[in-house]
């Protein structure tokens, strides 16, 4: 036979696009349109429905950036439509390529019932499956004119990203609002043809299956009368029946499609818009669940359910019913989908405890797995946190975005820092917005790394971000691919059903040890510093407020502010969302985050003050400006002892270490019993000596406190990315500076570009750490500022604090995996170390750093550099511009243990106090074991919950001392306070109670003390 495959493919493409798809809707009749443009922020739906409307027409403009316009669509069903399925087609001026990133609407009936969302990929409103002629049509659309900020690369700076700077221009133009007949047979034909066409394209050219499909498609199109498509569609479908009925091969890959919409909790829109996006998408999804019994939809983030409950109770009621039926499936078990490297360990636990509690209380369920498809890398502390909170699976997908290396698994065990392992899946389709196209399903099957031993993978299916979620078209494709020769089998099911199958078929999965580093988006450890500082300050104050409030409650009956703590935690957890904390949102979002953090801090400081007052303590100011301690008492909120003040206690402090600050010739010297620092007249640290060993840390011929400014213009994602080539363009800010002694500090003032910086170099009050306080007026564009300390330390690894411990990363570039990690992150410190000498680098609020391993002859220099500030222009055109205060520390003679202590101390200075001197409620008897949280139990029983972790990577048996508190039974719990085994305690002669604990390296344990 002659080969006509190419001609057939071309024919199908054209007929499908130009004739069949448009023929799904017939006999369009325009409806009347009226509009009410809301002045300012969104209004409640009842108010929108009852507003004054003015007529507008097709072709009219509507909607300035971030505005809301209520549209009223009225008319009647033509008599000729009687008995037919009738829908409205409403195109508000959509761009079909950008679902979720532009205008959207929520459709209401005249009675105020939310029907479904209106968006670029679902421009229809159901009228009736069997219409009556003359039937009255009246719908309302709450339409949001969100500006398009990200469409086609390049992503250019824009002022539309904040309502304070956006234009007044009306952004959209109404294209059509018609009532139409929905031609069901044509709709089915479209999907028959589309699925077979996309399958044929994917099959090998020489395959018999492909040849048969194309022959059938040709025959089907021969039956289509292009002048009467509805009248001939059934005959055309008949030609396709046989090829559609041919079953899948026994070895076919099996795709578990999960209906989904990845809705970023804020990003290129403000938080308040996400509230509406969630309700719009959810209203469509419950409608689709009603219409198709095969469909299953899964949604993460307790916060998003909570918004819906608050903002659109009518939608939430339908969702709740569908959750009870097991078809609208809450997943992930967290409050939101957070950034997965920057939050503290306690924050990760609260993401889960707050999330699971919401799901338990609202729906009577708990989630089995963690769902973080889109965060920018995953901490090696997470496996322990997930397993320790009762999860048995983890899903992500983002590592497929790696710039360099392909990850070796799709289904595997992920082993964390402490050895905990969790069953993990990366969808091999490489997307969390699957459409179930032929290309996608084949990609999943081809790429699946475990295909020699397993055959199940997951496909999160649907448009995210307000694009409307799963569409009926996706379901139509899935039905045809349920059992189709040449195609993977597709079935809609819940994530738990998928994971059960995946676990059963792969009893011995491969193992990946340690963090999941994303080889992309390395700027997110640094961008939008004020947001990151707000998070760190909030985490610190939350820990302190819970500590003192729990202590006061247990000892004095002080009222523990449960509700307020829940609200404050939820606020902080929300702002850890994976486009807020990483610094990748629009200006509006970061402006609001800073305002919210200020309110959180004010509330927490008040809670702390009240709790301390109940304990008889009055304390001086908190934060970086904490007054130097000369007072009678010192308050230590950190979980490490300092200057004789036990952790989490108030006591008389030992005197601060004597420090000498003096000028010597052209230099300045800071000296204590521990270190000697020499600073030259340009403000550079020429010498940093550990006096215990006499060891000089600064590499010969080099200088520390060296500010380095790089050009920073990544290839694609400005706020997200630092691309490797940034390194080559560097300006050393080492010219003349104003340097002067100020008390026990050396102050360095320097200007560069349009910016200026004042650095205050001093020694910590224990005399062990060189503290560098930076006060920066940052006015650069597309620059990256680093603070370097080149040190002479022979090592090929960097130790970095992570949540609940630390981990090691190679800092050579032997393999592509190591080379790709040229910018990484830490919690409070990182460290380079020889067996008997180390230098630790401490931060108070910044996470990004790099350590370049540089060779000077046979000496190896570790050029350790803090990442201070970036200045990307998209999506916030002025990200990071303005004033910043940040604190760093350099500690010579450091070990992981001393760095851990110094890291806590740097971010939580001792505070002057007066009044009583309460002992710590819970104290670890071993410095390696940190008491990281003291709080009252979530169940409001009044029990005290104490969380501890092993911080050095050792095995430790010790005890936790409980002082001045009645102690009943003590039990271990999991991380979210579900009860475990009883623990035998020991009553000590001094009246305290000792709770024995044995910990593996980096193990986290939770103890519950009944009262
Ligand atoms: Zn996302």
pLDDT per residue as tens digits for the range 433-459: 999 999 999 999 999 999 999 999 999
Q: What is the reported pTM? A: 0.98
Determine whether 602 is exposed, middle or buried from the number of CB atoms within 10 Å of its CB (0-12, 13-18, 19+).
exposed
Q: Has residue 626 got a pLDDT over 80?
A: no
pLDDT per residue as tens digits for the range 906-961: 999 999 999 999 999 999 999 999 999 999 999 999 999 999 999 999 999 999 99
- Which sign does the torsion angle of CA 964, 969, 972, 973 carry? negative
From residue 430, give the alpha-carbon distance in Å to each of 160, 501, 843, 926: 31, 20, 35, 46
Distance of CA 262 from the midpoint of ligand 1 (Å): 6
Identify the residue whose tokens are 């109770």.
313
Beta strands in 485-627 (DSSP E): 489-492, 510-513, 617-619
Closest of 904, 625, 628 to residue 765, by C-alpha = 628
Rounded distance between C-alpha atoms, residue 181 and residue 184, angstroms: 9
What's the full length of the chain, in residues? Answer: 1011
The full DSSP string for 714-745 is -SS-TTT---GGGGGSEEE--S--EEEEETTE
Give the per-residue pLDDT at 628.
Answer: 60
Please give the structure tokens belonging to residue 801: 């604090």
Distance of CA 340 from the midpoint of ligand 1 (Å): 12
Give the per-residue pLDDT at 860.
Answer: 84
Q: Mention every residue, 6+ apart, whose C-beta is less than 8 A from residue 28.
A: 89, 176, 178, 179, 180
Q: Which residues does residue 109 pair with via DSSP β-bridges, in sequence order?
A: 139
Distance of CA 432 from the midpoint of ligand 1 (Å): 9
Distance of CA 579 from the midpoint of ligand 1 (Å): 7
Report residue 472: phi and psi, to 5°. -65, -25
Coil, helix or strand at residue 139 = strand
Give me the helices (H) in 456-494, please.
472-480
Please give the structure tokens belonging to residue 943: 């029990």
Closest of 451, 441, 444, 456 to residue 501, by C-alpha = 456
Rounded distance between C-alpha atoms, residue 600 and residue 34, angstroms: 43
Torsion of CA 611, 615, 616, 617, to 10 degrees: -60
Distance of CA 440 from the midpoint of ligand 1 (Å): 20
pLDDT per residue as tens digits for the range 654-671: 999 999 999 999 999 999
Coil, helix or strand at residue 72 = strand
Rounded distance between C-alpha atoms, residue 266 and residue 275, angstroms: 9
pLDDT per residue as tens digits for the range 383-403: 999 999 999 999 999 999 999
Measured distance between the N- and C-terminal CA atoms of the chain, rounded to whole angstroms = 87
Q: Has residue 508 got a pLDDT over 90?
A: yes
pLDDT per residue as tens digits for the range 680-697: 999 999 999 999 999 999
Q: Sorting pLDDT into bands at 50, 70 and 90, what band is 353?
A: very high
What is residue 20's DSSP assignment? I
Rounded distance between C-alpha atoms, residue 213 and residue 220, angstroms: 10
Q: Sorting pLDDT into bands at 50, 70 and 90, what band is 3?
A: confident
Give the per-residue pLDDT at 623.
Answer: 80
Q: 356 or 631: which carries more pLDDT confidence?
A: 356
Distance of CA 990 from the midpoint of ligand 1 (Å): 54
What is residue 699's DSSP assignment? P
Q: What is the average per-residue pLDDT within 606-627?
A: 90
Active-site pick, 192, 374, 579, 943: 374
Give the per-residue pLDDT at 627.
Answer: 62
Q: Sorting pLDDT into bands at 50, 70 and 90, what band is 621?
A: confident
Give the per-residue pLDDT at 629.
Answer: 60
Q: Sorting pLDDT into bands at 50, 70 and 90, what band is 714?
A: very high
Coil, helix or strand at residue 88 = strand
Contact 184, 193 (CB under 8 A): no
Give the per-residue pLDDT at 2.
Answer: 85
Report residue 345: phi and psi, to 5°. -60, -40
pLDDT per residue as tens digits for the range 828-858: 999 999 999 999 999 999 999 999 998 777 7
Coil, helix or strand at residue 100 = coil
Distance of CA 200 from the midpoint of ligand 1 (Å): 33
Rounded distance between C-alpha atoms, residue 356 and residue 361, angstroms: 8
Q: Is 374 a catalytic residue?
A: yes
Give the per-residue pLDDT at 1011.
Answer: 83
Q: Has residue 630 got a pLDDT over 80?
A: no
Rounded distance between C-alpha atoms, residue 725 and residue 586, angstroms: 26
Give the per-residue pLDDT at 625.
Answer: 74
Burial code (b: 16+ CB inside 10 Å, e: under 16) for 441-476 equals bbbbbebbbbeeebbbbbbbbbbbbbbbbbbbbbbb
Please give the structure tokens belonging to residue 517: 């580093």
Give the per-residue pLDDT at 97.
Answer: 87
pLDDT per residue as tens digits for the range 25-62: 999 999 999 999 999 999 999 999 999 999 999 999 99
Q: Has residue 766 got a pLDDT over 70?
A: yes
Q: What is the average per-residue pLDDT within 785-793?
A: 97
- Which sign does the torsion angle of CA 715, 721, 726, 731 carry? positive
Half-sphere exposure of 860 (CA within 13 A, CB side): 14
Give the per-residue pLDDT at 114.
Answer: 94
pLDDT per residue as tens digits for the range 222-262: 999 999 999 999 999 999 999 999 999 999 999 999 999 99
Closest of 21, 177, 190, 180 to residue 85, by C-alpha = 180
- Show contacts of 11-15: CB within 8 Å, 24+ apart: 11/218, 11/221, 12/193, 12/197, 12/217, 12/221, 13/197, 15/193, 15/221, 15/224, 15/226
Q: Has residue 631 got a pLDDT over 70?
A: no
Identify the residue whose tokens are 């509406």.
276
pLDDT per residue as tens digits for the range 130-187: 999 999 999 999 999 999 998 888 899 999 999 999 999 999 999 999 999 999 999 9
Give the per-residue pLDDT at 151.
Answer: 85
Beta strands in 514-621 (DSSP E): 617-619
Q: Has residue 877 got a pLDDT over 80?
A: yes
Give the per-residue pLDDT at 47.
Answer: 97
Torsion of CA 194, 196, 202, 205, to 10 degrees: -130
The full DSSP string for 829-841 is EEEEEETTEEEEE
Contact 274, 266 (CB under 8 A): yes
Average predicted confidence (pLDDT) for the chain: 97
Closest of 537, 525, 579 to residue 337, by C-alpha = 579
Distance of CA 304 from the midpoint of ligand 1 (Å): 14
From residue 658, give the alpha-carbon distance in Å to each of 639, 672, 697, 705: 24, 6, 22, 23
Segment among 356-360, 378-382, 496-500, 618-622 with least mean pLDDT = 618-622
Contact 331, 296 (CB under 8 A): no
Q: What is the average per-residue pLDDT within 91-118?
A: 95
Rounded distance between C-alpha atoms, residue 455 and residue 604, angstroms: 51
Report, in angstroms and rounded to the nearest whole number, the Rg of the chain calculated over CA atoms. 31
Distance of CA 582 from the midpoint of ligand 1 (Å): 11
From residue 545, give the alpha-carbon distance in Å to each of 414, 571, 905: 34, 15, 17
Q: Has residue 361 got a pLDDT over 90?
A: yes
Rounded distance between C-alpha atoms, residue 1003 and residue 385, angstroms: 10
Contact 707, 785 (CB under 8 A): yes
Give the per-residue pLDDT at 94.
Answer: 96
Q: Which residues does residue 864 pair with via DSSP β-bridges, in sequence order?
A: 789, 851
Torsion of CA 277, 282, 284, 287, to 10 degrees: -160
Q: Has residue 567 got a pLDDT over 80?
A: yes
Q: Has residue 412 got a pLDDT over 80?
A: yes
């Amino acid at each position: 036979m002659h080969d006509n495959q190419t001609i057939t493919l071309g024919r199908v493409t054209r007929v499908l696009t130009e004739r069949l798809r448009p023929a799904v809707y017939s006999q369009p009749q325009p409806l009347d349109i009226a509009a009410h443009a809301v002045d300012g922020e969104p209004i409640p739906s009842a108010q929108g429905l009852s507003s004054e409307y003015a007529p507008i027409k097709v072709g009219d403009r509507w909607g300035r950036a971030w505005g809301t316009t209520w549209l009223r669509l009225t008319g009647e069903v033509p008599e000729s439509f009687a008995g037919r399925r009738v829908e409205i087609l409403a195109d508000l001026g959509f761009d079909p390529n950008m679902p979720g990133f532009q205008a959207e609407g929520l459709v209401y009936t005249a009675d105020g019932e939310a029907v479904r969302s209106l968006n670029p990929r679902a421009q229809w409103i159901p009228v009736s499956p069997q219409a009556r002629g003359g039937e009255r049509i009246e719908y309302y659309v709450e339409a949001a004119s969100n500006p398009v900020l990200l469409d086609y690369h390049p992503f250019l700076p824009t002022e539309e990203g904040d309502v304070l700077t956006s234009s007044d221009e009306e952004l959209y133009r109404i294209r059509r609002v018609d009532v139409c007949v929905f031609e069901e047979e044509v709709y089915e034909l479209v999907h028959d043809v589309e699925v077979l066409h996309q399958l044929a394209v994917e099959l090998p050219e020489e395959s018999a299956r492909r040849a048969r499909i194309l022959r059938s498609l040709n025959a089907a199109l021969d039956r289509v009368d292009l002048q009467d498509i509805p009248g001939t569609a059934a005959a055309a479908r008949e030609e396709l029946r046989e090829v559609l009925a041919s079953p899948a091969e026994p070895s076919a890959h099996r795709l578990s499609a999960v209906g989904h919409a990845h809705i970023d909790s804020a990003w290129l829109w403000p938080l308040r818009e996400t509230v509406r996006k969630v309700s719009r998408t959810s209203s469509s999804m419950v409608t689709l669940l009603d219409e198709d019994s095969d469909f299953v939809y899964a949604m993460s983030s307790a916060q998003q359910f909570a918004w819906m409950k608050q903002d659109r109770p009518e939608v939430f009621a339908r969702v709740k019913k569908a959750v009870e039926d097991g078809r609208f499936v809450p997943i992930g078990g967290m409050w939101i989908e957070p950034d997965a490297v920057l939050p503290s360990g306690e924050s990760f636990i609260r993401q889960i405890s707050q999330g699971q509690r919401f799901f338990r209380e609202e729906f009577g369920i708990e989630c089995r797995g963690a769902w973080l498809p889109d965060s920018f890398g995953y901490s090696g502390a997470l496996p322990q946190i997930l397993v320790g909170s009762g999860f048995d699976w983890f899903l992500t997908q983002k590592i497929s975005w790696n710039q360099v290396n392909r990850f070796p698994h799709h289904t595997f065990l992920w082993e964390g820092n402490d050895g905990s392992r969790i069953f993990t899946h990366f969808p091999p389709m490489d997307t969390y917005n699957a459409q179930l196209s032929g290309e996608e399903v084949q990609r999943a099957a081809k790429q699946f790394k475990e295909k020699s031993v397993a055959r199940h993978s997951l496909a999160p299916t649907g448009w995210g971000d307000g694009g409307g979620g799963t569409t009926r078209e996706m379901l139509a494709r899935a039905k045809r691919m349920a059992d189709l020769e040449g195609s993977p089998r597709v079935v809609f099911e819940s994530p738990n059903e998928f994971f059960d199958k995946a676990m059963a078929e792969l009893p011995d999965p491969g193992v990946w040890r340690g963090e999941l580093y994303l080889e992309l988006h390395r700027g997110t450890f640094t961008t939008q510093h004020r947001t990151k500082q707000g998070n760190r300050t909030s985490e610190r104050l939350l820990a302190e407020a819970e500590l003192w409030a729990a202590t006061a409650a247990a000892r004095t009956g002080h009222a523990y502010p449960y509700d307020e703590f829940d609200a404050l935690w939820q606020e902080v957890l929300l702002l850890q969302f994976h486009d807020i904390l990483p610094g990748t949102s629009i200006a509006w979002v970061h402006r609001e985050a800073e305002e919210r953090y200020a309110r959180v801090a004010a509330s927490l400081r008040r809670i702390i003050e009240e709790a301390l007052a109940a304990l008889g303590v009055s304390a001086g100011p908190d934060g970086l400006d904490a007054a130097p301690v000369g007072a009678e008492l010192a308050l230590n909120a950190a979980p490490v002892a300092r200057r004789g003040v036990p952790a989490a206690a108030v006591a008389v402090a030992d005197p601060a270490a004597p420090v000498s600050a003096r000028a010597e010739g052209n230099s300045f010297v800071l000296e204590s019993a521990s270190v000697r620092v020499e600073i030259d007249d340009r403000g550079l640290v020429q010498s940093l000596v550990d006096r215990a060993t006499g060891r000089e840390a600064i590499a010969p011929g080099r200088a520390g406190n060296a500010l380095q400014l790089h050009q920073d213009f990544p290839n694609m994602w400005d706020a997200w990315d630092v691309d490797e080539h940034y390194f080559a363009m560097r300006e050393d800010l080492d010219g003349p500076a104003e340097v002067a002694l100020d008390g026990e500090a050396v102050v360095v003032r320097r200007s560069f570009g349009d910016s200026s910086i004042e650095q205050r170099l001093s020694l910590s009050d224990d005399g062990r750490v060189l503290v560098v306080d930076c006060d920066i007026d940052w006015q650069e564009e597309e620059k990256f500022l680093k603070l370097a300390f080149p040190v002479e330390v022979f090592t090929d690894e960097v130790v970095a604090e992570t949540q609940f411990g630390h981990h090691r990363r190679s800092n050579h570039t032997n393999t592509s995996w190591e080379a790709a990690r040229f910018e990484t992150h830490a919690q409070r410190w990182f460290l380079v170390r020889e067996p008997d000498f180390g230098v630790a680098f401490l931060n108070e609020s910044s996470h990004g750093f790099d350590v370049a391993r540089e060779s000077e002859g046979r000496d190896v220099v570790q050029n350790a550099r803090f990442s201070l500030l970036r200045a990307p222009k998209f999506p916030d055109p002025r990200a990071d511009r303005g004033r910043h205060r940040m604190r760093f520390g350099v500690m010579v003679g450091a070990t992981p243990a001393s760095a851990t202590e110094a890291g806590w101390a740097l971010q939580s200075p001792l505070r002057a106090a007066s009044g009583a001197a309460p002992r710590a409620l819970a104290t670890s008897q071993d410095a390696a074991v940190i008491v990281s949280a003291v709080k009252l139990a979530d169940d409001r029983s009044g029990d005290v919950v104490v969380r501890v972790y092993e911080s050095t990577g050792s095995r430790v048996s010790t005890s936790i001392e409980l002082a001045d508190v009645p102690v009943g039974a003590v039990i271990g719990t999991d991380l979210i306070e579900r009860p475990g085994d009883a623990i035998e305690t020991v009553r000590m002669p001094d009246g305290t109670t000792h709770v024995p604990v044995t910990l593996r390296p980096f193990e986290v344990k939770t103890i519950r003390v009944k009262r």
